Every structure is written in C-alpha cells, then in structure tokens.
C-alpha cells in the first residue's frame, strides 16, 4: 500500500508538471484567438486534478519514501529545479496573458465567426469622437464613431469605438476588421492592435501591437525574477530539506490550493464567460500567487 502511494504521488507530480507546462504554453498564445480556449483549459484541468490527487495521497502517506534511486541528492535537486523552472515560466505567462486576455470581447468573436478580414477603408463621416488620455493627461489617441466605405465591399460600414492615434476626418484611410458575409456587424478599428493576427484566429504568443510588446516585456521581467530564484531555491538548501518540503502534506496543500485558486480564476476567461470579482482578483494576482506562494513554502528548505 505504501509503495503504491509513493509511485502514485510521483506519477501525479510528473503528469501535473507536464500538463501545467503545456497549459501555460497554450495560454501564452491563446489570447490572440477567439474564446473559448479549450486547449489551455483542458491541460490546466489535468494539471490541477493530478495536483489534488497528489496532495490527498500525501496526507494518506504522511511521511517520506524509503531511500531509493529517486531520493539521492542528484534527483532531489533535479526535481526541485524542474518545479522552479515551471513556477518561473507559469508566473511569466500569467503576467503576459493578463495584458492581452480581455482583448475586444464578443464583437471580435462575432466578426471572426462570420469570416472577418482586414481591409483599408475610407472615412465617409465622423459622427463623434473623444480624446483618450494617458496617466499624465496627455492625448494618446482618439475613440470615434465612424461611417466608412470599403472598396470592393461594404459601401457604408458603421464602426463604433474606433481607436486611432490621430483624429480621423472625412477621407482618412483606416484599416478595418469586418465580415463580408455580414456587414451589419459593423467594423472594428484599433491602430494599437495587430488586426491581421486577430482576424486569423491563430495561436500567436506575442502579437505585433502595443499590447503584444507590453506582454513580452512583462514576460521577460517576471521570467528574469523567476530565473534568479531557480538556483537560489535549488542549489542552496540541503537535499534532505528539499526532500522534506516535497513530501510535506501541509506545504504541498498550500501550493495546490493556490494552483486551484489561479485555475478557478482563469477558467471563465478561458471559456468565454465573465469572471466574478474574486475570480478577477485571482487573475490579476495570479503570477504573484504562484511565485510568492512557492517562495514562502520553500523557506523551510533553508533549515
């Protein structure tokens, strides 16, 4: 019975690590696609499920395995390093995906479902406009309601909330995302976004627009922080202390609870529904929950 529990824990650990890595990789580029994002959700569910089973098995086992080939210093350090690599990667993914996950919502999904394409349109009429200000009260762009004409397509296409860097006027040319099969859906104009990528509905880790560049910077910054922690929490502690932490039911329960919380928070966004307040807070703080949670539960490894 004890041997079975030990191998169940090890198998769940490996499966949870692999599934978690795949889920995070998918999430990194899924934000350029229409929801629902089934792939990261399914892989995330597998990872969380295995983590929960592992914790239950740890509580039943209540102890460490006998010495074998997987308890020597090399394997303990390697296993710990692998966990911290995933922690650093997943934290960076959450920070990057957070900047692009909200995108433009249902209208973009409807346009893509109708076969959206990108065309250069001419403004026929500027119906309304307002200045968009940055934190320093400096104009960064304009949000306008436009009536545009697409050559060879819709002669009169309504665009609400068109974002441009310069104030548009009659005769101004803009790139518009629209559906030839259903012009009644209107168009989508946003000069800060990569419209061809949005129209293609394909996996793209970092889009060629402002949000894409911002998410890349966020990913690099958090990944660098995580990469510093990898050798600190892998090489400095003794292998015996790392082994105790890895097989400690209370410590692993805290880590698993944070993992479940993060997955629960991201689930509505992945499935195309609106998250609640608590879920949105979990999304916003997801990279901190994972990173700081593992830091705090790893301090015991320093003796």
Other residues' Cβ atoms within 10 Å of the Cβ of residue 259: 23
Locate tokens 């307040």: which residue?
277
pTM (2 d.p.): 0.79
Average pLDDT in the chain: 89
> What is the phi-psi region of residue 142: left when phi exceeds 0, alpha when psi lies from -120 to 50, beta otherwise?
beta
Choice among 1-15, 129-143, 250-264 with the minimum mean pLDDT: 129-143
Q: How far apart are CA 273 and CA 270, in angstroms?
A: 8
**Beta-bridge partners for 173:** 122
β 173-179/139-149 pair status = unpaired
Query: What per-residue confidence (pLDDT) applies to 176?
Result: 95
Residue 95 binned pLDDT confidence (cut-offs 50, 70, 90): very high
Query: What per-residue confidence (pLDDT) applies to 294?
Result: 92
Query: What per-residue confidence (pLDDT) applies to 71?
Result: 83
Q: In what order do the strands lie in the sheet with 139-149?
A: 157-164, 139-149, 116-133, 173-179
Which tops the pLDDT comparison, 218 or 33?
218
Residue 139 binned pLDDT confidence (cut-offs 50, 70, 90): confident
Can you give 113-136 as a three-state secondary structure string?
HCCEEEEEEEEEEEEEEEEEECCC
Q: Is the predicted pLDDT of residue 207 greater than 80, yes or no?
A: no
Q: Which residues of 171-210 are buried (b: 16+ CB within 10 A; e: fewer)?
A: ebebbbbbbeeebebbbbbbbebbbebbbbeebbbbbebe
Residue 177 near residue 118 (C-beta atoms within 8 A): yes
């Amino acid at each position: 019975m004890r041997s079975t529990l030990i191998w169940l824990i090890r198998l769940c650990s490996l499966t949870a690590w692999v599934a978690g890595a795949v889920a995070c990789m998918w999430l990194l580029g899924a934000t350029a696609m229409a929801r629902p994002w089934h792939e990261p959700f399914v892989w995330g569910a597998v990872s969380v499920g295995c983590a929960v089973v592992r914790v239950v098995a740890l509580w039943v086992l209540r102890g460490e395995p006998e010495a074998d080939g997987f308890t020597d210093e090399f394997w303990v350090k390697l296993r710990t390093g692998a966990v911290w690599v995933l922690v650093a990667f997943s934290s960076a993914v959450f920070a990057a995906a957070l900047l692009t996950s909200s995108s433009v919502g249902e209208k973009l999904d409807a346009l893509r479902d109708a076969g959206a394409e990108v065309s250069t349109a001419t403004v026929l009429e500027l119906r309304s406009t307002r200045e968009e200000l940055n934190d320093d009260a400096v104009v960064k762009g304009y949000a306008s309601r436009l009536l545009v004409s697409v050559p060879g397509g819709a002669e009169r296409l309504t665009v609400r909330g068109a974002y441009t860097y310069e104030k548009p006027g009659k005769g101004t040319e803009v790139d518009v995302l629209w559906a030839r099969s259903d012009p009644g859906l209107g168009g989508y104009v946003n000069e800060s976004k990569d419209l061809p990528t949005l129209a293609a509905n394909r996996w793209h880790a970092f889009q060629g627009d402002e949000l894409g560049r911002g998410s890349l910077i966020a990913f690099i910054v958090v990944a660098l922080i995580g990469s510093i922690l990898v050798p600190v929490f892998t090489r400095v502690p003794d292998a015996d202390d790392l082994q105790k932490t890895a097989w400690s039911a209370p410590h692993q329960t805290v880590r698993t609870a944070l993992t479940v919380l993060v997955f629960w928070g991201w689930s509505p966004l992945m499935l195309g529904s609106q998250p609640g307040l608590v879920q949105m807070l979990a999304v916003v703080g997801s990279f901190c929950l994972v990173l700081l949670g593992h830091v705090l539960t790893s301090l015991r490894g320093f003796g």
